[in-house]
Chains A and B, each alone.
Chain A
Amino acid sequence: MRHKTFLWFFLPTGLAMLLFIAMPIVSVVTQSIFAPHPAVLIEVESCTPLVGCTTETTVDQEATATLRAENPMGRFVGLGIYFDRGHLAVQEIGQIWASNESWGGFFSELGNLPFYRAMAFTLTFTFIVTPLTILLGLVIALAVNSLHRHLKGLMIFFSLLPMIVTPLIGSLILFWMIDSRGVIGNALVNLAGDPDFSLKASTGLMWVALMVYGVWSSAPFAFVVFYAGLQTLPKDQIEAAQIDGATRWQQVKFVVVPHLMPLVTFVALIQLMDNFKVFEPIIGFSAGAHAQSLSTFIFNDLGGETRQLSSAAATSVITIIGIAILLSPVLVRTWRDFKGAR
């Protein structure tokens, strides 16, 4: 395609991307390097029903309005918010590093900083759930594909159910099932033989529950993609393999999987992105005490009585960078394939 033709062809998409993707990112980055002005505080008498009047501190609105009018963007803080304790905690890491001789002590104190604790969970979640999702999706696709054609429609519908259920609702259903009075929770109590046994009170088991949910809710997506891929599998290749005496396992390993490889890359890309932003199960399971992710930080920043816009913006930018790093191997490979193809 000639460059000029390509340009005209791409222009509408390019404009939309600029407006809906690039501009918001610019806005978030800007927000993250500015913070609200220092508050001008004054003491006033405040009166409350049933209590009476007390002296309280409040924000001097006139003085603050003047500050805002002078500099509407706020106070420039550069990367200050990125480095504070709520985010990368550079200073705190320095102190922990200086005060610890051993790696064990260093890591246990590192786990006390919210960002690194959230990263520990998020990365574990991402790297366990993504491969399991792909594997389970492939197994379901192969199983459904080998069914009699009368049964296929029904099985496809049932396999897709977890994707049809709204994520938050799905996680809430599982949450009540694993409650110590729920079906699964009660069974576990009987199995463990301890009336005080509670899945929700244990960090390790809560992580397992979150990951089970993660695989359960996204396996249908992998299944649908692989199932579609299986329909394009050339019959003659399979027949050739069968004539060569390949077992079913060998057929899958040497013919089916290589054929589906581009789709595996695609599903891996999408799942890495989704799992890194893990959010619904943590909210649905009320798992805040055991697991946090960057997305729940943003939610907490914006959901409190005092909205912390700059902090939320900084976490968003860190999320974008994190996903870019996660995806870089796959993206580099795609770029190489593209170069090679030319």
Chain B
Amino acid sequence: MFLKKVALAGSMAAFAASAGYACEIGGRVNIVGNEFAAIQAVAAGAKECTGASVESNLTSEHQTINVAGLSGNPSEYTSAIIANSSLVALMNEDVIRPLNDLVEQHGQDLQPGQLIKIGDNIMAIAFMANAQHLMYRKDILEQAGVEAPTTYEELLEVAKAIREQGIMQNPVGGAYQAGWNLAQEFNNMFLGYGGTHFKPGTAEPNINTEAGVNALNMMKALSEYMNPDFLTHDSNATNAEYRAGNVAIMNMWGSRASQQTTTEGVLQEVIDGHAIAAPMTVGGGSIPATTLWWDGWTVGKNISDEEAEATFIAMKNGIRPDMLNDETTPLAVWLIEGYEPSEDAQGVFAAAKMGTPPYPMLPYMGLMHSALGNELADFMQGKESAEQALADVEAAYRAAAIEQGFLK
């Protein structure tokens, strides 16, 4: 315990010393965001600023409170740290402000790629990228005498080989929990087969197509090689299975790559055999069956100009280039200047290089994601056909979109 404290104090001192310049702000800052190591590091950087209070509320339930916390005038929070899927929800509610003026005054040294532009407005500053890609046990694959797959069709053959040789009964892992996770796996596969969720330029659903049916059939085929409880496994549970040595191959979030072998209690054979690779393609497609994500911060609309300026300065202090050190660098695939990708980052970079599409940033995508999460479980259990499941999704989405005013 004492040693930990000393180490902490030491790293804090190093942090403060490396800051080099003082970060002075003239208004209160209050941050709401998700809770994982990379975001905690950013919030800690923002809190080094002096002159006014900097508070943060980092919780995995952030997306259920950020809209409410940014509404009201003046609002409780001055900044929300979000992933690209949530940016749309904040913009739909009109609770975040364009950052053009603040970038001009204080953000000239940000990388052009960090500026998230919707039309002419800069709406968020991104600081890390994320994508799901292949993670596997090279020892098990070697034992089975197979190569790491580059397509989902090859993945099925790898799984078959591992099972038939009696190495593992259920070698494939997948975050297929009914709800958000299952919908996300469908999105990956659907985009990989070349599908588009909506008819161009409209909010009309477009998933009951050949690509949709193919995507579902591929997911069904993969699930045959998964733990029979797969519909209750989210990404945390899938990772736990992997770390316990029960899974040999899976499509997993890049943001988890560095913690995959460093968490307590991981089997030695998993640590030794762990490997990552580029995301897989499917159905002969050229782009991988995955989506590209970013995490970034926004500034609230319902606050005074002083607070907005203070928030921008503090948040930028949280993502300044010299916040990257031995401790923080492996936590994420940073979009910050001077970041040198580690081994763990190669999966995400490969995804970007292969032309992975970003997660659709459309005002009605959230409704589609919810509808997919609620309606696809029936198909995965073999209770209905792929066409029926997709028709149900479209009907559920349509009802929600009519309510929200996206469809008539």
Contacts and interface: CB of A to CB of B under 8 A. Distances in A.
A73 B405 CA distance: 14
Contact of A86 (B115, B378, B396): B396
B74 interface: no
A51 B352 contact: yes
A249 B126 CA distance: 73
B380 A289 contact: yes
B367 interface: yes
B141 interface: no
B178 A286 contact: yes
Contacts of A311: 400, 403
A285 B85 CA distance: 27
A286 B177 contact: yes
Interface in B289-307: 292, 294
> Interface SS of chain A: helix, strand, loop or mixed?
mixed
A122 B67 CA distance: 31
B85 A305 contact: yes
Nearest to A46: B118
Nearest to A297: B374
A41 B363 contact: yes
Given A41-B363, A200-B232, A288-B377, A35 B294 contact: no
Given A35-B405, A114-B374, A286-B232, A48 B358 contact: yes
Interface in A81-118: 81, 84-86, 92, 112, 114
Contact of A44 (B118, B229, B369, B403): B118
B203 A305 contact: no
Contacts of B94: 61, 64-65
B102 interface: no
Contacts of B402: 84
A310 interface: yes
Contacts of A43: 201
B113 A50 contact: yes
Contact of A201 (B229, B362, B363): B229
B129 interface: yes
B117 interface: yes
A190 interface: no
Contacts of B363: 39, 41, 57-59, 306
A48 B228 contact: no
Contacts of A59: 91-92, 363
Contacts of B381: 201, 203, 289
B281 interface: no
Contact of B115 (A47, A50, A54, A308): A47
B85 A81 contact: no
Contacts of A306: 88-89, 92, 363-364, 366-367, 370, 404
B188 interface: no
The size bracket of the interface on A is: 35 or more
Nearest to A38: B405
A179 B405 contact: no
Interface string A24-58: 00000000000111110111111111110110111
A63 B92 CA distance: 12
Contacts of B357: 51
Given A75-B405, A81-B403, A180-B228, A300 B114 contact: no
A44 B177 CA distance: 34
Contacts of B384: 112
Contacts of A58: 88, 91, 118-119, 362-363
Contacts of A45: 117, 119
A198 B361 CA distance: 38
Nearest to B119: A44
A310 B228 contact: no
A114 B396 contact: yes
B7 to A, nearest CB: 33
B26 to A, nearest CB: 28
Nearest to B383: A203
Give the most central of B85, B116, B405: most A CB within 10 Å.
B405
B100 interface: no
A341 B126 CA distance: 71
Given A35-B404, A47-B117, A57 B201 contact: yes
Contacts of B396: 85-86, 114
B370 A49 contact: no
16 contacts: A36-B404, A38-B408, A39-B404, A42-B119, A48-B126, A49-B113, A56-B362, A57-B201, A58-B119, A58-B362, A61-B94, A86-B396, A86-B399, A288-B177, A305-B88, A306-B364
Interface of A: 35-39, 41-51, 53-54, 56-59, 61, 64-65, 75, 77, 81, 84-86, 92, 112, 114, 175, 179-180, 195-198, 200-201, 203, 285-290, 300, 302-308, 310-311
The 3 lowest CB-CB distance pairs between A and B, nearest first, are A305-B366, A44-B119, A306-B366
Interface of B: 63-64, 67, 84-86, 88-89, 91-92, 94, 113-120, 126, 129, 169, 177-179, 201, 203, 227-232, 234, 292, 294, 335, 352, 356-358, 361-367, 369-370, 373-374, 377-378, 380-381, 384, 388, 392, 395-396, 398-400, 402-406, 408
Given A64-B94, A285-B232, A306-B367, 4 more contacts: A39-B406, A287-B232, A306-B88, A308-B403
